[in-house]
Structure 1
Amino acid sequence: MTKIALVVSDVDGTLVTHDKRLTDTAKAAAKKLEDAGIGFTITSSRPPVGMRFLVKPLGITLPIGPFNGSSMVDGDLNPIVQHLIPESATKRAIEVLEDHGVDIWIFTNDEWVIKRDDGKYVPHERDTIQHEAVMVDDFSPYLAKACKIVGASADFPLLERCEGVMQKALGDTAVAVRSQNYYLDITPPNQNKGTFVQAMAQRLGISLEAIATIGDMRNDLPMFKVSGMSIAMGNASDDVKSQATDVTSSNEAEGFAGAVEMILKRNAGG
């Protein structure tokens, strides 16, 4: 069995708790990986700025993958590789979101752009990514530089229906998948957490079999499919769990640390 040389973890619902805390146990688990000579990095639907607070506490020195892995940035958040949503797809996505009556946000590499700040999830996102939004009356200046579009809604069934409509409307011009029950992410075509994992393997000169991935949502499945070991969180849906090689406990019960122990045990031949 190939030993794990790199661990790639999702953030929300995986590495941090429900209230977005990075626990001491999670930090200690990341240190165990370092001590074992195993590389560690993160990928998330978050923009780069929303991942900054994790880099130093976790001792991350490798590139990280924001926007569901469609970009790659260094520890100072400087783009290494960046993909954008085609402007035509951005316009179509906004039309579909407007038709469904959900809040619309646009993320560029360094800005979060909204038209209203009274949406249910604006304060939540502000606290999560620790960054203020830019309020605008018109999205037009941002259409050609969108790294991610988000449809936010507290109506989970509505957003699930919107996801299906969006996927049909965009086809292969962009990727549309929910990163949370309340967030529908639209990101650049042919890019996802799986392509980020593949890029990291190439960058480090290691095989995909030597990579372990940890996550909890359907947007984590592309990286599960390409990695040698995939670990679903206990809080993941049964569908996500069924597509992982292993399952750990929930993010509220130190599931990330549990996943690290599984990886270390595998490497030890246990």
Structure 2
Amino acid sequence: MTRIALVVSDVDGTLLTKDKLLTDRAIGAAQRLQRAGIAFTITSSRPTIGMRFLIEPLGITLPVGAFNGSCIVDPTLKPVEQHLIPHTAARRALEVLGDFGVDIWLFTSDRWLVLNNRGPYVAHEGRTIRADPTVVPDFTPYLSKACKIVGSSDDAAGLQRCEAAMQEALGTQATAVRSQSYYLDITPPGVDKGTFVQAIARRLGISSDVVATVGDMQNDLAMFRVSGTSFAMGNATDDVKRQATHITASNEDDGFAKAMEQILTGVP
């Protein structure tokens, strides 16, 4: 395996268990990376506030990428770089999500807004990001401040169809990709987890061939494409696994830690 200088990891389904726990083995692996001189950071579809609890135990000193990398913040969550969804794209996204009858959320830089606080995944998201939503009667006043719009549904096949329709409707005006089988994320155009990886590599003055990335979902493919080494989690779908250079164990079997151990020992 190429000597790795930077590791960038996804969070949910990768670094955390299905119960949203950070295991001792994962913490230890991240800390050993940094003791070995390998830089480490995270990127996620989560809002910035939903990443706060990870920074200290993982010893992260680099910027982290929230909202699928479209918002870069330092370890104190102070913005370094932030992008918003264009107003017209945000409005069109709401129309498409409405057509498919999915529950809709809107995230600004500091708030999680919902129309219905009893939606199918609202309680789950609250536990995940450790924050409560604000119920609003209408998203219109917030469209100019949208960092991310989410369609959530327990109909995975229907959400996959919605993803295709959304990509056709928005074109290059915004990025639409599932971060979980039950979440469709709409984020600003031209920025994603891949551009976040590239930004951190530039910050460190390193090339992409010495970067390793770890993830499990379609929104992680952007960072796989710009890194020399990539690990798909054992719980990833087959199409994600096919696009990674390596496959590790699942997030329930410390797959992140096992991938880091491969990097630390240089085992291909």
**Superimposed CA distance per residue, residues 5-64 of structure 1 (whole angstroms, 9 cap, x where no aligned partner):** 110000000000000000111101111101101010000000000000000010001000
How far does residue 178 in structure 1 lie from its aligned partner after superposition?
A: 0.4
Matched residue, 1:14: 14
Matched residue, 1:195: 195
Q: State how far apart, in whole Å, the 1-side matches of 2:201 and 2:7 are.
A: 11
> Runs of 5+ in structure 1 lacking a partner?
none
Matched residue, 1:122: 122
How far does residue 265 in structure 1 lie from its aligned partner after superposition?
A: 2.2
Q: State how far apart, in whole Å, the 2-side matches of 1:171 and 1:89 are.
A: 9
Q: State how far apart, in whole Å, the 1-side matches of 2:91 and 2:120 are.
A: 24
How far does residue 3 in structure 1 lie from its aligned partner after superposition?
A: 1.6
Matched residue, 2:156: 156
Q: CA RMSD in A?
A: 0.9
Kindly indicate whether residue 30 of structure 2 is the aligned counterpart of residue 30 of structure 1: yes
> What secondary structure sits across from 1:72 in the alignment?
strand
How far does residue 109 in structure 1 lie from its aligned partner after superposition?
A: 0.9
Letter matched to residue 18 of structure 1: K
**Superimposed CA distance per residue, residues 196-233 of structure 1 (whole angstroms, 9 cap, x where no aligned partner):** 00111111111111110000001000100110110010
Q: State how far apart, in whole Å, the 2-side matches of 1:103 and 1:120 are.
A: 8
How far does residue 2 in structure 1 lie from its aligned partner after superposition?
A: 4.2
Tell me the matched-pair count.
268
How far does residue 141 in structure 1 lie from its aligned partner after superposition?
A: 1.6
Q: State how far apart, in whole Å, the 1-side matches of 2:258 and 2:192 are.
A: 25
Letter matched to residue 44 of structure 2: S
Q: State how far apart, in whole Å, the 2-side matches of 1:221 and 1:153 are.
A: 22
Matched residue, 1:251: 251
**Superimposed CA distance per residue, residues 52-102 of structure 1 (whole angstroms, 9 cap, x where no aligned partner):** 000001000100000001110011111100000000000000000011100
Q: State how far apart, in whole Å, the 1-side matches of 2:210 and 2:63 are.
A: 17
How far does residue 259 in structure 1 lie from its aligned partner after superposition?
A: 0.6
> What secondary structure sits across from 1:249 in the alignment?
coil
Q: State how far apart, in whole Å, the 1-side matches of 2:2 and 2:142 are.
A: 45
TM-score by length of structure 2 reads 0.98
Letter matched to residue 98 of structure 1: G
TM-score by length of structure 1 reads 0.98
Matched residue, 1:224: 224
